[in-house]
């Protein structure tokens, strides 16, 4: 069996990849302080952990992130050790989204898949046990609350190759309404 294709180097924040900043700006358009809680799944937190650190400043926003980069997990461990309160609002898991079972996940209000498809060539290898992007979307759709939103970054290096899969997969499963915020493609489950 093929091993997980680990990314050896974590990702620093880059101005050219503004997805996390735009996501936070988008989230701040909602009256988050007026709801019981908001749950977010975030693929690829980066070494900066911008979304998780932002969520930790809110009383009712909770983020679970997934990375395939050990360096990003180590940075999370450093941050959460220095600031234990971070653990109550933000959690980072290590793994490949193509192998993750939706049964291990709770329901989410937002699923941010800004880097989906950027590190996915392993799924084309017949010896790799992971599922393709369409099945990843299907599995995550099960975990998205009604009225919840799945978000993608239109400036991702993979967006052009996965955009058609995203549209077909989401529209065939549920009724999704598409909108945009800056460079974010937003699919609302209705």
User: pLDDT, tens digit, for every residue of 72-102?
Assistant: 999 999 999 999 999 999 999 999 999 999 9
**Per-residue confidence band for 139, with pLDDT thresholds at 50, 70 and 90:** very high
Q: Which residue has the higher pLDDT, 176 or 13?
A: 176
pTM of the model: 0.93
Q: Minimum mean pLDDT among 51-60, 92-101, 127-136, 146-155: which range?
A: 127-136
Q: Which residue has the higher pLDDT, 15 or 177?
A: 177
Tell which residue, 74, 93, 70, has the closest CA to residue 82: 74
State the number of CA atoms in the 13 A half-sphere of 1 facing the CB: 5
Confidence (pLDDT) at 155: 93
Confidence (pLDDT) at 123: 76
- For residue 130, pLDDT beyond 60: yes
Tell which residue, 156, 157, 152, 159, has the closest CA to residue 184: 152
- C-alpha dihedral, 133 to 139 to 142 to 145, nearest 10°: -60
Write out pLDDT tens, residues 99-114.
Answer: 999 999 999 999 999 9
Q: Which one of 3.40.50.150, 3.50.90.10, 3.30.470.20, 3.20.20.60 gives the CATH number of domain 19-189?
A: 3.40.50.150
Beta-bridge partners for 67: 94
Start-end of H helices in 28-96 = 50-55, 70-82
Write out pLDDT tens, residues 12-71.
Answer: 655 557 999 999 999 999 988 777 899 999 999 999 999 999 999 998 999 999 999 999
Mean pLDDT of all residues in 133-159: 95
> Integer distance in angstroms from the first to the last C-alpha of the chain?
39
Q: How many CB atoms lie within 10 A of CB 50?
A: 17
Q: Tokens for 95? A: 């793994």
């Amino acid at each position: 069996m093929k091993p997980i294709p680990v990314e050896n180097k974590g990702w620093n924040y880059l101005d050219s990849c503004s997805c996390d900043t735009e996501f936070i700006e988008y989230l701040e358009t909602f009256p988050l302080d007026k709801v019981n809680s908001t749950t977010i799944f975030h693929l690829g937190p980066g070494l900066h952990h911008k979304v998780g650190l932002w969520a930790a400043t809110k009383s009712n926003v909770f983020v679970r992130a997934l990375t395939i980069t050990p360096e990003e997990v180590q940075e999370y461990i450093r941050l959460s050790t220095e600031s234990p309160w971070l653990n109550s609002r933000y959690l980072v898991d290590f793994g490949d989204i193509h192998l993750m079972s939706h049964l291990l996940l709770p329901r989410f209000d937002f699923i941010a898949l800004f880097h989906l498809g950027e590190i996915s060539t392993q799924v084309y290898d017949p010896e790799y046990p992971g599922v393709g992007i369409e099945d990843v979307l299907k599995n995550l759709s099960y975990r998205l609350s009604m009225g919840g939103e799945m978000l993608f970054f239109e400036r991702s290096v993979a967006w052009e190759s996965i955009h058609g899969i995203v549209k077909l997969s989401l529209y065939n499963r549920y009724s999704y309404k598409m909108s945009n915020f800056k460079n974010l493609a937003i699919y609302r489950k209705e």
